[in-house]
């Protein structure tokens, strides 16, 4: 492909999509490389929820990120002519009286009261095991990330800007004002390869550890819930009596292959939360791009400023991607400073 563009983007998961949208809005030209080697954005639950339900604490910058993310996905819905955002409430299954007390304590924190319903529900929900009641969150939901990734790829293909190949790092030539890759000349390259970053010789010094996650999808016709239920696993309604159950956290296995252990762990936990029959219709796995200090990896290469990275979206890519993509774009184009917490400068090696 002979071309002269502003940007080459490597990877079209949630981070690559969010950055490409910045380029389109700002009339920048680009080419995207994508080889389907990572699937985190495709297998993700897609849940957005700015409250950590394990500890009843706010997600780092979660409220602000969500204010940007909701309109971002709405614009994509309009542009791509599909439904991506399914809004539902989230119910936390309490397992002790202590949970109930902690819920009230958390409600007094400013950001949390925005999402938490102060009343504890003691209702019996058919098919759900729960003796201590439920706490409810408002303003949560899910983005249909598999549909988004698939449709967005087709859209980029229709713009004749998609190269369905593995980006070969050894072909990058860095000159003073430009970078080249075979016949392509660009002003910058943005790497958004998720866990694929491990193979990137320019940025694999960054502490991206990666956490494998597995989910199962079940058919459970007697389970009639239209909210996300959060116990030791989440049970998320997908429609037509199907539910996504997730997710596992595995820090050693770095493959995207579903396992017997993963399925068993999810089923064992699921059976402690529901009391109705189900059948498993799908199982999937992927590697979350998680970072040692749980903050995104954003910024220019310390030695080659024409190369930049957008990664480390961790367990909450849906909420954080639009914000960090905008931060990176403004940093590259307008020299705006990056938040120290996301800037890869924090890992600079002398
Ligand atoms: C089981 C599971 C459940 C999850 N649930 C949620 C959830 O409910 N909510 C939430 O917000 N987040 C969730 N996540 C996390 C979320 O998936 C990630 O934060 C996010 O999708 C990461 O996006 P990304 O674009 O950085 O990486 P990826 O989605 O991994 O995308 C990187 C892309 O780069 C491509 N690529 C890599 N190397 C190359 C190369 N050399 N050449 C060409 N292309 C390349 C890959 O093929 C891939 O498409 C979950 C993750 C998992 C695994």
Residue ranges of domains in the chain: 3-43+146-207+292-347, 211-288
Q: DSSP per residue over 204-231, as a string? A: TTS-B--EEEEEEEEE-TT----SEEES
Nearest Cα residue to atom 46 of ligand 1? 38
State pLDDT tens for residues 310-343.
999 999 999 999 999 999 999 999 999 999 999 9
- Count CB neighbours of 50 within 10 A: 24
Please tell me if the CB atom of residue 13 comes closer than 6 angstroms to any atom of ligand 1.
yes
What is the average per-residue pLDDT within 50-59? 89
What is the average per-residue pLDDT within 35-60? 94
Please indicate, yes or no, whether the overall pTM of this predicted structure exceeds 0.75.
yes
Nearest Cα residue to atom 2 of ligand 1? 44
State pLDDT tens for residues 169-189.
999 999 989 999 999 999 999
Nearest Cα residue to atom 51 of ligand 1? 44
CA 194 to ligand 1 center in whole angstroms: 5
What is the average per-residue pLDDT within 53-71? 93
Determine the topology of domain 211-288 in CATH: D-Amino Acid Oxidase; Chain A, domain 2 (3.30.9)
- Cα–Cα distance for residue pair 254/285, rounded to 1 Å: 10
Class (C level, CATH) for 3-43+146-207+292-347:
alpha beta
Nearest Cα residue to atom 33 of ligand 1? 11
State pLDDT tens for residues 237-267.
999 999 999 999 999 999 999 999 999 999 9
Please tell me if the CB atom of residue 43 comes closer than 6 angstroms to any atom of ligand 1.
yes
Please tell me if the CB atom of residue 49 comes closer than 6 angstroms to any atom of ligand 1.
no
Please tell me if the CB atom of residue 38 comes closer than 6 angstroms to any atom of ligand 1.
yes
Q: DSSP per residue over 296-307, as a string? A: -EEEE-SS-TTE
What's residue 2's pLDDT? 83
What's residue 56's pLDDT? 86
Please tell me if the CB atom of residue 10 comes closer than 6 angstroms to any atom of ligand 1.
yes
State pLDDT tens for residues 289-316.
999 999 999 999 999 999 999 999 999 9
345 or 349, higher pLDDT? 345
């Amino acid at each position: 492909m002979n071309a002269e563009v502003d940007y080459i983007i490597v990877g079209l998961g949630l981070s690559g999509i969010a950055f490409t949208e910045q380029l389109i809005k700002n009339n920048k030209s680009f080419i995207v490389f994508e080889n389907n080697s990572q699937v985190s954005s495709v297998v993700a639950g897609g849940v957005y929820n700015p409250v950590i339900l394990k500890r009843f604490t706010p997600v780092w910058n979660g409220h602000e990120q969500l204010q940007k993310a909701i309109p971002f996905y709405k614009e994509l819905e309009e542009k791509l002519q599909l439904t991506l955002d399914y809004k539902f409430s989230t119910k936390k299954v309490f397992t002790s009286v202590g949970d109930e007390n902690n819920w009230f304590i958390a409600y007094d924190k400013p950001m949390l009261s925005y999402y938490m319903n102060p009343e504890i529900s003691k209702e019996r929900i058919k098919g759900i095991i729960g003796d201590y009641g439920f706490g409810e969150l408002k303003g949560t939901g899910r983005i249909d990330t598999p549909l988004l990734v698939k449709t967005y790829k087709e859209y980029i293909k229709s713009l004749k800007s998609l190269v369905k190949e593995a980006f070969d790092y050894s072909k990058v030539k860095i000159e003073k004002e430009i970078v080249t890759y075979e016949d392509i000349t660009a002003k910058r390259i943005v790497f958004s390869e998720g866990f694929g970053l491990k193979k990137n010789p320019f940025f694999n010094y960054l502490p991206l550890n990666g956490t494998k996650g597995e989910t199962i999808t079940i058919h459970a016709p007697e389970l009639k819930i239209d909210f996300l239920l959060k116990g030791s696993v989440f049970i998320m309604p997908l429609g037509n009596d199907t539910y996504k159950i997730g997710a596992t956290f595995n820090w050693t296995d770095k493959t995207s292959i579903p396992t017997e252990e993963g399925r068993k762990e999810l089923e064992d936990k699921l059976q402690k939360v529901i009391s109705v029959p189900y059948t498993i219709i799908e199982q999937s796995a992927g590697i979350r791009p998680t970072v040692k200090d749980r903050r995104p990896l954003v910024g220019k290469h310390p030695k080659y400023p024409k190369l930049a990275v957008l990664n480390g979206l961790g367990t909450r890519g849906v909420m954080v991607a639009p914000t960090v993509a905008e931060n990176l774009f403004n940093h590259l184009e307008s020299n705006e400073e990056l938040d120290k917490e996301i800037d890869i400068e924090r890992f600079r090696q002398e």
